[in-house]
């Protein structure tokens, strides 16, 4: 009783000391409200997209018209992770099949909550464990759903169809729609659904973590959130901020820092531009080839089935992948795709594995350059954990990593946007082995003996979260844990000194020590510039061999 009384007295005292806006109701705790008084965004220091430039290509697509083209209306049902997209049943599936094809689209899946049980923590939950409180949120998230990148397979497939149309071809059965189909996608940009993913991600984080803004209010500061200069990256950060702070408030309540993404420019957000080996066959560029080789065999039967429904042209193995990609891309851009109904549940599981191979060997433990490319963010996380500026030993940009204006170390909330490859590189640099538990991925068989799954780890709007906690019942009381798309990760098997914990917790200081060792063991110059040979089929722990 006494506590309640003194709290309400304290509250009254604080409120009466402030200039309470006329609209506030009596007793509202205005002193805790964000934003702090007389703060604003300095657009000289944090210029907008139009000033920064380097937006990349921005071809727009045809307007979606799902009200006309979708066979099913997008009622707002329980699959909220992909509202308002609709997908048909997979080829050969009964109407009551629970199979959700959108969760087998690799990096083109919309993000969804992954159970902690999938990585070995059945009782864990992202809610703060009893007896602990949160002091810091560190968030690294990917852009939302986008059109295909400029060089992707669907546009090439569209060109092949356009050419065949001139000569004339005939289709039947499932493929009938193809005779009147036209290509409607743009390139590179966020789709309307992609915008909603980021807006909701921002909104979700405000609802979950808004209390941490009190820290900014107390210090009279607004946060710096970072992204890269590509148009979809800027729009991602802006939509996230709009969800988090509201429209138009976000324009005054957060500084959005836009890092240049361009060849040869240092940035933790686009490390591939300063890591030459990432593009070299037999070095960093090994996943793409093995995933293509896998796909050339995995879809044989499907290829034959589809070829039996068309005359006047023939599909090759690459066309099958193009049509699977069109299923994903048209759905996230236009709301629905007739291509999806061409493929069986097994096809979609193999499609997911095609992506698993590519990413495990290009940006995961099977890559010799993954850890090097993730080292920039790893160093930045550790800098924020320790409040010490990083000593560059990666692609960090000193201009942006050595100043309290551009790289503040005292925030309670951090939010950086990047690409899926960089998120995966970063998780590899963090040595979060629970995400890759098991033998290296088989190059020929979709055996699922490894815990890695692309759609769980790097879907559209994926997010990697570090929660820093104060837990009075633990010793030491400062704890940390890591979460990917709501799955809490165990770290006891790859972080020396961390014991098994049902909530994925470990001593903050111990984790920082482990990560500093990891920074030391990742040799950016060797991995990105050295002369070595690698092949797919090996778990390199994301680092180049020394031969």
Ligand X SMILES: *[C@@H]1O[C@H](CO)[C@@H](O)[C@H](O)[C@H]1NC(C)=O
The residue ranges that bind ligand X (CB under 6 A) are 120-121, 135-136, 215-216, 218-219, 221, 259-260, 265-266, 274, 297, 300-301, 389, 391-392, 395-400, 402, 404, 408, 410-412, 431, 433, 490, 492-494, 496, 500, 514, 517-518, 521, 531
Return the closest-CA partner of residue 543 out of 366, 353, 377: 366
Closest distance to ligand X from the beta carbon of 430 (Å):
9
| 113 vs 300, beta carbon nearer ligand X | 300
Return the closest-CA partner of residue 147 out of 322, 287, 331: 331
Report the chain's terminal Cα–Cα distance, integer Å. Answer: 71
| 10 vs 162, beta carbon nearer ligand X | 10
Closest distance to ligand X from the beta carbon of 14 (Å):
15
The answer to whether the CB of 169 falls within 8 A of the CB of 179 is: yes
| 285 vs 389, beta carbon nearer ligand X | 389
Helix 192-209 to helix 317-334 angle (10° resolution) is 60
State the Cα–Cα distance between residues 134 and 222, nearest whole angstrom.
19
Q: Is 324 left (phi over 0), alpha (psi -120 to 50) or beta?
A: alpha
Closest distance to ligand X from the beta carbon of 119 (Å):
9
Closest distance to ligand X from the beta carbon of 199 (Å):
24
Question: HSE on the CB side for 149, CA within 13 Å?
Answer: 8
Alpha carbon 357 to its chain's center: 18
Closest distance to ligand X from the beta carbon of 394 (Å):
7
| 60 vs 300, beta carbon nearer ligand X | 300
Helix (H, G, I), strand (E, B) or coil at 42: coil
Question: Which residues, in sequence order, are bridge partners of residue 225?
Answer: 256
Closest distance to ligand X from the beta carbon of 82 (Å):
30
State the Cα–Cα distance between residues 388 and 233, nearest whole angstrom.
27
State the Cα–Cα distance between residues 460 and 258, nearest whole angstrom.
20
Other beta carbons less than 10 A from residue 174's beta carbon = 16
Closest distance to ligand X from the beta carbon of 161 (Å):
24
| 32 vs 218, beta carbon nearer ligand X | 218
Where would I find the beta strands (DSSP E) of 68-206?
Answer: 133-142, 170-171
| 396 vs 480, beta carbon nearer ligand X | 396
Q: What are the helix and strand counts (H, E) for the chain?
A: 18, 10
| 54 vs 99, beta carbon nearer ligand X | 54
| 431 vs 462, beta carbon nearer ligand X | 431
Closest distance to ligand X from the beta carbon of 326 (Å):
22
Compute the Cα dihedral for 483, 485, 490, 496 and give only its sign. Answer: negative
């Amino acid at each position: 009783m006494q506590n309640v009384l003194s709290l309400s007295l304290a509250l009254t005292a604080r409120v009466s000391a402030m200039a309470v806006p006329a609209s506030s109701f009596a007793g509202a705790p205005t002193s805790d409200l964000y934003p702090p008084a007389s703060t604003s965004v300095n657009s000289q220091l944090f210029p907008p997209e139009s000033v920064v430039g380097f937006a990349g290509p921005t071809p727009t697509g045809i307007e979606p018209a799902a009200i006309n083209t979708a066979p099913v209306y997008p009622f707002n049902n329980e699959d909220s992770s992909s509202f308002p997209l609709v997908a048909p049943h997979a080829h050969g599936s009964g109407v009551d099949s629970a199979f959700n094809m959108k969760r087998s689209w690799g990096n083109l899946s919309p993000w969804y909550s992954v159970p902690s049980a999938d990585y070995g923590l059945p009782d864990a939950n992202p809610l703060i464990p009893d007896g602990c409180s949160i002091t810091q949120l560190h968030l690294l998230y990917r852009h939302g759903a986008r059109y295909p990148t400029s060089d992707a397979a669907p546009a090439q497939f569209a060109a092949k169809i356009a050419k065949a149309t001139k000569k004339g071809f005939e289709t039947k059965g499932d493929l009938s729609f193809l005779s009147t189909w036209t290509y409607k996608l743009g390139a590179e940009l966020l789709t309307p659904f992609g915008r909603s993913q980021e807006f909701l991600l921002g909104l979700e984080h405000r609802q979950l973590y808004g209390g941490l803004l009190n820290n900014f209010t107390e210090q009279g500061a607004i946060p710096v959130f970072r992204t890269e200069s590509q148009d979809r990256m800027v729009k991602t950060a802006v939509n996230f901020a709009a969800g988090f702070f509201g429209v138009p408030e976000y324009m005054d309540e957060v500084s959005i820092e836009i890092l240049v993404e361009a060849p040869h420019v240092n940035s933790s957000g686009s490390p591939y531009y300063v890591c030459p080996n990432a593009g070299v066959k037999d070095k960093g560029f090994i996943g793409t080839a093995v995933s293509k080789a896998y796909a050339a065999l995995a879809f044989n039967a499907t290829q034959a089935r589809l070829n039996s429904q068309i005359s006047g042209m023939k599909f090759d193995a690459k066309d099958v992948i193009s049509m699977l990609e069109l299923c994903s891309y048209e759905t996230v851009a236009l709301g629905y795709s007739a291509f999806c109904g061409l493929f069986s549940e097994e096809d979609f599981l193999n499609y997911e594995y095609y992506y698993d191979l590519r990413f495990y060997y290009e940006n995961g433990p099977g890559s010799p350059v993954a850890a090097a490319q993730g080292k920039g963010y790893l160093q930045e996380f550790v800098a924020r954990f320790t409040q010490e500026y990083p000593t560059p030993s990666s692609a960090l940009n000193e201009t942006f990593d050595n100043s309290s204006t551009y790289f503040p170390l005292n925030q309670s909330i951090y939010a950086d946007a990047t690409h899926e490859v960089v998120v995966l590189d970063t998780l590899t640099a963090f040595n979060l082995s629970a995400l890759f538990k098991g033998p290296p991925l088989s190059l020929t068989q979709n055996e699922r003996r490894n815990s890695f799954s692309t759609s769980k780890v790097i879907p559209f709007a994926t997010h990697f979260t570090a929660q820093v906690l104060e837990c009075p019942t633990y010793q030491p009381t400062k704890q940390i844990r890591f979460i990917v798309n709501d799955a809490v990760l165990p770290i006891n098997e790859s972080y020396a000194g961390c014991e098994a914990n049902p909530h994925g917790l470990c001593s903050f200081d111990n984790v920082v020590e482990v990560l500093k060792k990891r920074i030391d063991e990742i040799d950016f110059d060797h991995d990105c510039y050295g002369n070595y040979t690698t092949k797919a089929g090996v778990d390199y722990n994301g680092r180049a061999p020394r031969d």
